[in-house]
């Protein structure tokens, strides 16, 4: 491979363009820094590159279902919900493969925008119940921050993102800056009232989602949600938050951003005498040319595992085991959220109710276990919430006598009965032995080692899941539902699509990789603000916390550059 060292020195380099990378790019550019933004995958322009955004099932092969031939190209990515409408936003496993000592569902979208194009958009704050949990339980290491440190940054990003939701006043699930909430349907309202009647520590609310439900927000013409529920195809209205509709075009508008897709960052370069990072080494995905870019500060936002892989590959005399890995914790403490399992049921009495539209949201039941002394359990620590929805099937059960003719057509037009489903969403503890490593005996086409995962759920997660299945059934039964059925679907690490850890924050450089500002303890001008930085996983969706931490870290980096501390 040829090598090319660029003469220009940027103020900042951002690696990755997903939720975290987009925010890093926006904040650094808006604060005046000449910023190079590097993305491993292809370019995706907002609206222009959403080829299926307006198509119906009859417009694509097999009504959108993947054929067995095409599905074979996505043996790991197809463990998630991909189809003909969305598969172009997911990785081709033949080009971006990985290995598993234990099954790990690493679902990725390698393109400008990353998984911000395909995320579920559930948006929740964490609280001190989460930030203090490790210290309280003696698990992992203590977070070096508390809610007061991140609260103003939650507010800052929410005003830009646009979060639809309902205020509840729960200390353990702080309210966001909300746009008007979406509506529960009649059966969900029935369930909400049933929970209120039978429990004094449980509540059901509409999900909190990153959708504009009124007005508009900054970005590439971001407008109001149209309730199409075609979000994962790319939203032409920019109603749901993504890097492509929001942070990337805002960074570009400053004139300070240079965006370079098809750029595979292989390592962070280091000057041992100055004790600072000097830039990054890149392989051009199309030409295989090796290029070195220089910068004063580096933000790694490539995703939890990819950012850590870059640090692991950044070996030198100063860092023989990978940059910032004096603690030996780099690659360890992999976390996710455990999904799978819950309950479903039927209900009578609402057959005269039907709803139009495709609400891109469901209901949410916040955590109610181990909140205080009254809700503590002996079997497991931490807790879980539920996400779910109620709806009617498209048509009523087809009667054998009506297999053809006018009667059959009439029957097909009748909506089916109401069903409700709720699934648990549980916290996973940070176990040191849950880790990733690099196999240098198996190199990819770019000469990079294969990432190998060795992580699993353990007894605390198994007992938690057992409890949430029981509680799901109980809540439905007490609320008057019938034919209540337990769902005991098996789940695997990675399947929550919230992989976290591997470069955790902490007070002590001997037990953690990053400090309270998301800087490497050992290299002050390298920041990691994606899921790799997480010290525990809570049970809430983490993307809002990634955004807030990134905005906070970018502000810190700019202030430190002004002071010439980095």
15 falls within a domain? yes
End-to-end CA distance of the chain: 32
Q: CB count, 10 Å around CB of 197?
A: 10
Beta-carbon-side half-sphere exposure of residue 335 (alpha carbons within 13 Å): 27
Q: Which is nearest to 26 in space by CA: 525, 558, 501?
A: 558
Q: What is the pLDDT of residues 44-102, one digit of tens each?
A: 999 999 999 999 999 999 999 999 999 988 999 999 889 999 999 999 888 889 999 99
pLDDT for 206 beyond 90 = yes
Burial grade of 509 (CB within 10 A; 0-12, 13-18, 19 or more): middle
Which are the contacts of 39, defined by CB distance < 8 A and separation ≥ 6? 16, 17, 21, 111, 112, 114, 259, 260, 261, 262, 263
178 dihedral zone (left: phi>0; alpha: psi -120 to 50; beta): beta
What mean pLDDT comes out for the span 244-249? 98
3-state secondary structure 406-448: HHHHHHHCCCCCEEEEEEEEEECCCCCCCEEEEEEEEECCCCC
pLDDT value, residue 174: 98
Whether pLDDT at 255 is above 90: yes
Query: In 390-399, which positions are buried (b, 16+ CB within 10 angstroms) versus exposed (e)?
Result: bbbeeebeee
Range of the domain at 16: 1-43+71-140+257-336+431-454+499-566
Q: What is the mean pLDDT of residues 531-551?
A: 98
Q: Which helix (H) or strand (E) holds 205?
A: strand 205-206
C-alpha 162/C-alpha 238 separation (Å) is: 11
The H-assigned helical ranges of 75-185 are 128-131, 133-137, 147-161
Residue 354 banded pLDDT, cuts 50, 70, 90? confident
Separation between Cα atoms, residue 147 and residue 523, nearest integer Å? 26
Note the pLDDT of residue 404: 62
Residue 50 to residue 240: CA distance in whole angstroms: 14
- Total number of domains constituting the chain: 1
In percent, the amount of the chain with pLDDT more than 70 equals: 96
Is residue 514 situated within a structural domain?
yes
Lowest mean pLDDT among 100-109, 395-404, 424-433, 548-557: 395-404
In a domain, 314, yes or no: yes
Query: Is position 472 within any domain?
Result: no
Mean pLDDT of 364-384: 94
User: What is the structure's pLDDT at 397?
Assistant: 52
CATH number at residue 134: 3.50.50.60
Asked if residue 176 belongs to a domain, the reply is no
**Inside any domain, residue 199:** no
Give me the pLDDT at residue 314, please: 98
Work out the burial of residue 362: count CB atoms within 10 Å of its CB; fewer than 13 is exposed, 13-18 middle, 19 or more buried.
Answer: buried
Q: What is the mean pLDDT of residues 223-231?
A: 95
Query: What pLDDT, on the 0 to 100 scale, is given for residue 373?
Result: 87
104 found inside a domain: yes
155 φ, ψ (degrees, to nearest 5): -60, -45
Q: Of residues 403 and 203, which shows the higher confidence score?
A: 203
Residue 231 domain-assigned (yes or no): no
Check: CB of residue 251 under 8 Å from CB of residue 35.
Answer: yes
Q: Are 449 and 438 in contact (CB under 8 A)?
A: yes
Rounded mean pLDDT, 508-516: 98
**What is the residue-averaged pLDDT of the chain?**
94
């Amino acid at each position: 491979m040829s090598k090319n060292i660029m003469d220009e020195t940027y103020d900042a380099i951002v690696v990755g363009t997903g939720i975290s990378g987009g925010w890093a790019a926006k904040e650094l550019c808006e604060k005046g820094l000449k910023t190079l933004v590097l993305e491993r995958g292809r370019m995706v322009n907002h609206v222009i590159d959403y080829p299926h955004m307006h198509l119906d099932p009859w417009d694509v092969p097999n009504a959108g279902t993947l054929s067995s031939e095409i599905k074979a190209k996505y043996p790991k990515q197809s463990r998630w919900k991909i189809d003909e409408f969305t598969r172009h936003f997911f990785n081709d496993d033949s080009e971006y493969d990985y290995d598993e000592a234990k099954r790990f569902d690493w679902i990725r979208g390698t393109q400008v925008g990353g998984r911000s194009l395909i995320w579920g958009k559930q948006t929740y704050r964490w609280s001190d119940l989460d930030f203090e949990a490790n210290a309280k339980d003696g698990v992992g290491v203590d977070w070096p921050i508390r809610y007061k440190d991140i609260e103003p940054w939650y507010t800052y990003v929410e005003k830009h993102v646009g979060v639809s939701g309902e205020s509840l006043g729960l200390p353990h699930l702080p309210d966001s800056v909300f746009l008007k909430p979406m509506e529960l349907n009649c059966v969900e309202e029935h369930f909400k009232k049933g929970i209120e009647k039978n429990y004094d520590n449980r509540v059901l609310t509409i999900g909190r989602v990153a959708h504009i439900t009124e007005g508009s927000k900054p970005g590439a013409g971001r407008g109001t949600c149209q309730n199409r529920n075609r979000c994962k195809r790319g939203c032409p209205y920019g109603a749901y938050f993504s890097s492509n509709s929001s942070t990337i075009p805002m960074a570009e508008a400053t004139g300070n951003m240079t965006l370079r897709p098809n750029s595979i960052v292989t390592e962070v370069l280091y000057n041992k005498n100055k004790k600072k990072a000097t830039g990054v080494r890149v392989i051009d995905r199309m030409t295989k040319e090796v290029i070195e870019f220089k910068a004063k500060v580096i933000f790694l936002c490539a995703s939890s595992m990819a950012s850590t892989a870059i640090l692991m590959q950044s070996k030198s005399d100063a860092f023989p085991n990978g940059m910032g890995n004096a603690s030996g914790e780099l690659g360890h403490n992999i976390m996710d959220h455990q999904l799978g399992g819950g309950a479903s049921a039927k209900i009578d009495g609402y057959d005269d109710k039907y709803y139009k539209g495709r609400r891109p949201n469901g209901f949410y039941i916040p955590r109610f276990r181990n909140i205080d002394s009254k809700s503590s359990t002996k079997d497991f620590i931490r807790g879980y919430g539920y996400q779910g929805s109620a709806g009617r099937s498209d048509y009523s059960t087809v009667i054998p006598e009506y297999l053809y003719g006018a009667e059959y057509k009439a029957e097909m037009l009748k909506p089916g009965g109401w069903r409700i489903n709720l699934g648990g969403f549980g916290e996973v503890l940070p176990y040191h032995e849950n880790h990733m490593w690099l196999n240098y005996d198996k190199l990819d086409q770019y000469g990079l080692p294969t990432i190998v995962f060795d992580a699993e759920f353990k007894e605390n997660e198994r007992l938690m899941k057992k409890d949430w299945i029981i509680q799901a059934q109980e809540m439905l039964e007490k609320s008057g539902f019938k034919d209540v059925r337990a769902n005991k679907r098996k789940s695997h690490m990675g399947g929550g699509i919230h992989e976290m850890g591997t470069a955790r924050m902490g007070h002590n450089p001997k037990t953690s990789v990053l400090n309270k500002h998301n800087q490497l303890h050992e290299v002050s001008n390298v920041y990691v603000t994606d899921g790799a930085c997480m010290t525990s996983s809570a049970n809430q969706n983490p993307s809002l916390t990634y955004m807030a931490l990134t905005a906070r870290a970018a502000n810190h980096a700019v202030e430190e550059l002004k002071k010439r501390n980095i």
